[in-house]
Chains A and B, each alone.
Chain A
Amino acid sequence: MIMNARAVSNSSSPSRSVSVSAKRILLWLFLIALTAVYLFPLYFDLISSVKSTTEIFVTPFSPTRHPLFSNFKIALDTGRIQIAFFNSLVLSVGSIAIVISVASLASYVLAKMRFRLQNAIYVIFIAGLMVPVQAVLIPLAIQVSLTRMSGSYVTTMLIFTAQFLPLAVFILVGFMRSIPTEMEEAVYVDGGGHFCIFWNVILPLSKAGLSTVIIFVFLMSWNDLLIPLVFMGATHPTVSLRLLSFFGGMTGQSGYGAFMAAVLFVIVPPIALYIAASDLVQQGLTAGAVKG
């Protein structure tokens, strides 16, 4: 009996290792398929950016043998994608600057000071997370056109700021509350004022929260379509607007390759950021969800 049992267990072990490695093979096949599904659009864009339109449609999967680098020149000369790139950069950097400065000041007060209505003001900021941008789009458009502020960078930056403030305040107040009171009090006892505390204690210790907000605002403003569509218009197209109009202008059978090249210019900043700091970006974009 004992011999028998041993024989059984001996014979079962090789088959188990076979099934384990079969599992591994299945896992890797699945992962390869997953990667293909997720990277295909980028791969397609990359290989199509140096193709003619015919090639893009006839041989969509394979790289071309006769790369048309002139597509990139068309994207710049005709597509003027560099101008849109500049416009978007101004918008994003400006929005980041405004959000960070006003949100960090407000969060300091909301996290560290004591006053009436403190909770009410905090709740009003957070409630903004529930307001979809569509609900304010038309009144904003009217407000902006009545005050003759349309088509301006500053207006669009302020609209972005109002959209991102709730999340920024939520994240920064969370961070600042966790900074021990003793640190501020030490500065205060040494004769430092609120500006000194804010600048030398609170901001340096909120770096992680600030970088989360910066990443979030950058990606959201760089990638947005609806707000620039209504408030920037044709005068200062952002990258999304320019890609859309460049694409729409190519109804003929010439030059989809140039469009693909323009897309490459547009996705460089977000992808570079993602490659450089993928964990931070994943954190930043899901930050609002962590505490619901």
Chain B
Amino acid sequence: MVGSYRRNKKIITLFLLPALLIYGLFLIVPTISGVLLSFYNWAGYPGAPFQFQGLKNFSTVMNYSPFWQSIRNILWWIVLTLVTQIPIGFLLANLFSSRFSGFRVFKAIVFLPQVISATVIGLLWYFVLRPDGVLNTTLTTFGAAALGRDWLVNPGTAMTSVILVNTWIGIGFHMTLFFAAISSIPDSILDSCKLDGITGARKLFRITVPLTWETLRVCLIIAITQSLRAFDLVFVMTEGGPNGLTDIPATLLYRESFRFQRFGVGSSIGVLILLISLIFTLISLRLLRRETVEY
């Protein structure tokens, strides 16, 4: 008698419909039409015809050197993000998990950039990195003016500077996840470590890393997918410039579509971003599949 009320079709439809409608119209339909659109050309104003192009948009993109620049940049972004954000986040979490007095405050401070918009952060770091900015002024004060440069314009430093600001933003996120994981290691294991005299680096690699492997996996996937979604920080700090030097696929997509009205090319970049995201997610899920440690 109670069971049948769980099958009330009217209620099921009524409750699901608003979410499904919004989700369908503003996420599912555009995802599909984005894939379709990448085979068409459209001039970007209401009433303009959609012309079928086949794979022409993709071949345009593939032969378009700014696209390859943006791919090189995003790969460098992913690599640099992985080797900085995750290890630093992990080590900070490990440090905070000794729970010295006041650790909560420092943990909250490292997480702070997560709360503030990339727009604000990007513009404030711009004041640090511009030619007459805080960094160069400081270098001059310490007699190292020769090291100063136009960090966001110089080909050797522009992309890396933006990526490091992104690292600075993201460390707190990974630190928080690792902190939760380290906190959930059972006391019995920590006690037996103490008895056996396992401390320092040995404890870190033999105990902490294996027991937080699952979280490491999650962090890797998040770091990669977040990198592929980056837009705001680059748009604010360099707008992809100078001359496409710091473009990532997202900023290129924005410029091609909304500045040059080349919506077909933009859509194919969008489809490629979607594909790369899916591939990276699946690869990292597979590569990192490892037996979880039972304790």
Contacts and interface: CB of A to CB of B under 8 A. Distances in A.
B266 A109 contact: no
Contacts of A35: 106, 109
A117 B219 CA distance: 31
A139 B34 contact: yes
A29 interface: no
Nearest to B222: A289
Nearest to A241: B119
A2 interface: no
Contacts of B186: none
Given A142-B42, A286-B176, A134 B137 contact: no
A136 B31 CA distance: 5
A123 to B, nearest CB: 13
Interface residues of A, number: 93
A141 B108 CA distance: 38
B233 to A, nearest CB: 9
Contacts of A226: 231-232, 235, 250, 254
Given A132-B229, A225-B117, A225-B236, A161 B123 contact: no
A52 interface: no
A3 interface: no
Given A109-B16, A222-B117, A139 B277 contact: no
Interface string B234-271: 01100000000000011001100110000100110111
B225 A132 contact: yes
A130 B222 contact: no
Contacts of B123: 243-244, 247, 259, 263
B267 A162 contact: no
A63 interface: no
B100 interface: yes
A270 interface: yes
Interface in A22-53: 27, 31, 34-35, 37-39, 41-42, 44-45, 48
Given A240-B117, A282-B111, A145 B46 contact: yes
B263 A138 contact: yes
A98 B22 contact: yes
Interface stretch (B5-13, B143-151, B190-198): B5-13
Q: Which secondary structure dominates where chain A touches chain B?
A: helix
Nearest to A105: B15
A135 B117 contact: no
Contacts of A41: 121, 124-125, 128
Contact of A136 (B34, B106, B221): B34
B249 A244 contact: no
B127 A146 contact: no
Interface residues of B, number: 89
Interface in A79-100: 98
A47 B182 CA distance: 38
Contact of B120 (A110, A224, A230, A267): A267
Given A45-B124, A143-B29, A162-B27, A244 B100 contact: no
A174 B8 CA distance: 22
A281 B111 CA distance: 10
Contacts of B152: none
A138 B19 contact: no
Contacts, number: 253
Interface in B93-117: 95, 100, 106, 108-117
A134 B250 contact: yes
A35 B117 CA distance: 19
Interface in A91-148: 98, 101-103, 105-106, 108-110, 112-115, 121, 124-125, 128, 130-143, 145-146, 148
A132 B228 contact: yes
A102 B15 CA distance: 8
A56 interface: yes
A98 B118 CA distance: 25
Contacts of A37: 168
B22 A162 contact: yes
A122 to B, nearest CB: 11
A169 interface: yes
Given A188-B5, A263-B123, A289-B177, A271 B26 contact: no
B139 interface: no
B11 A113 contact: yes
Given A134-B250, A138-B263, A115 B221 contact: no
Given A38-B113, A56-B127, A292-B221, A134 B270 contact: yes
Contacts of B26: 136, 140, 158-159, 161-162
10 contacts: A37-B168, A106-B19, A121-B20, A139-B37, A169-B19, A223-B119, A225-B117, A244-B119, A247-B123, A286-B180
Interface of B: 2-3, 5-9, 11-12, 15-16, 18-20, 22-23, 25-31, 33-34, 37, 42, 46, 92, 95, 100, 106, 108-121, 123-125, 127-128, 132-134, 137, 168, 173, 176-177, 180, 217-219, 221-222, 225, 228-229, 231-232, 235-236, 249-250, 253-254, 257-258, 263, 266-267, 269-271, 273-274, 277-278, 281
Nearest first, the 4 A-B pairs at minimum CB distance are A223-B117, A162-B26, A106-B19, A139-B30
